Structure 1
Amino acid sequence: MKHPKVINLVQEPEVFYRIQNKYDRIISVLGGSMQVGQVVNSDIDLIDITRRGLPKSVVITVSLILGISMEKMSSLLHVSHRTIQRKGDDELLNVYSTEQILEIAEVISRGIEVLGTLENFTKWLHSDVRALNYSKPLDYLDTSFGTKLVKDILGRIEHGVYS
């Protein structure tokens, strides 16, 4: 089966909205399958990527999408900004940073799906949300529990539950 070309969200955001496959959307957030180093069709593929590591360039891509500095991105990954700076663009992140990036990419994909556009999602991400005790969803993207909580809130929004 021929796999469709995955679009890079940063380069062509309007095309992203037409991508139906969950994995293609996540890979698009990360900069495309060339950036990630493989095509992704299942959670098993995501596990393989996590074990292998993602390149540092993906961190830059995700920080641009989120509209945050590399310092803030480093704090979401629990890695010093200096450590990230020292890495070459093709140098691979460790398992923990890679897993967190993949979880953040899933939140981005889900947020765009629920809120309609990248602009709407990033505006929401940087706003105080009642369900988070008037904290910003962005501040919860540094842990697995936090990303799950943000995805749960997006699910409630999708179903019309006041959040």
Structure 2
Amino acid sequence: MKATTRPSSNQLRPVEPQSKAPDRKSKTAATTPAPSETWGSGVADHPLRGHGLVRRVREQVPTAAVRPLTARLELTLKEVATLLALTERTLARRLEEAEGHLDTTESERLLLLDNLALHGLAVFEDQGKFNRWLRRPLPVLEGRSPLAYLDTATSFQVVDQLLGRLEHGVYS
């Protein structure tokens, strides 16, 4: 009988590239890729926090990043327009522009929504379950759904904290 080898736990997990700390002795700063190199077809592949979030907001998100996030969260044009504090018509016009960008306020809201989507997927481990949770009225949000609650930058933080509580098993 042939012995089978089981892969080690290191072989099962994808290896993530480690970022090298900048050399303090070097006078040359690390170059930051241009926004067109980092955006791709989505918004971000990991939650952005602190300076990374501020930098992305200031770069202004391309309007092309709106549709993939909208599709992933199964949002209507009206829902996205409300989240970005725009009218439906303004959002539709911006989405028609091939090389357009959201302004900084709209970019911030879209990036906060993307962070929330990434966190929600990590908590629920299923996009559909997270999308349904976004629409479910919750007593902790004054009977509003998380999606309906997202009308300010602070409300994004409140919903993100709620996801953190769910992640750690705290009943909310």
Q: TM-score range by the shorter chain?
A: 0.7 to 0.9
Q: What is the rounded CA distance, in whole Å, between the counterparts of 2:15 and 2:109 in structure 1? A: 23
Aligned to 2:126: 117
Provide structure 2 residue ranges, at least 5 long, that are not aligned to the other structure: 1-13, 18-37
Q: Which moved more, 1:56-65 or 1:38-47?
A: 38-47
Of 48, 60, 65, which aligns to 1:53?
A: 60
Q: What is the rounded CA distance, in whole Å, between the counterparts of 2:158 and 2:132 in structure 1? A: 18
Q: 1:45 to 1:154 in 2, by over 3 A?
A: closer
Q: What is the rounded CA distance, in whole Å, between the counterparts of 1:132 and 1:19 in structure 2? A: 39
Aligned to 2:40: 34
Of 41, 47, 69, which aligns to 1:62?
A: 69
Is the CA contact 2:73–2:131 (under 8 Å) kept in the aligned structure 1?
yes
Whose helix proportion is higher, 1 or 2?
A: 1
Aligned-residue Cα RMSD (Å) equals 2.8
Q: Does 1:106 align with 2:120?
A: no
Aligned to 1:134: 143
Equivalent residue letter for 1:125: L
Is the CA contact 1:50–1:99 (under 8 Å) kept in the aligned structure 2?
yes
TM-score normalised by structure 1 residue count: 0.72
Is the CA contact 2:70–2:76 (under 8 Å) kept in the aligned structure 1?
yes
1:120-160 CA distance string (max 9 Å, x none):
11111111112112210011223111111101111111121
Give the total of aligned pairs: 136
TM-score normalised by structure 2 residue count: 0.69
For the pair shown, which has the larger CA radius of gyration, 1 or 2?
A: 2
Q: Does 1:85 align with 2:86?
A: no
Aligned to 1:44: 51
SS at match of 1:162: coil
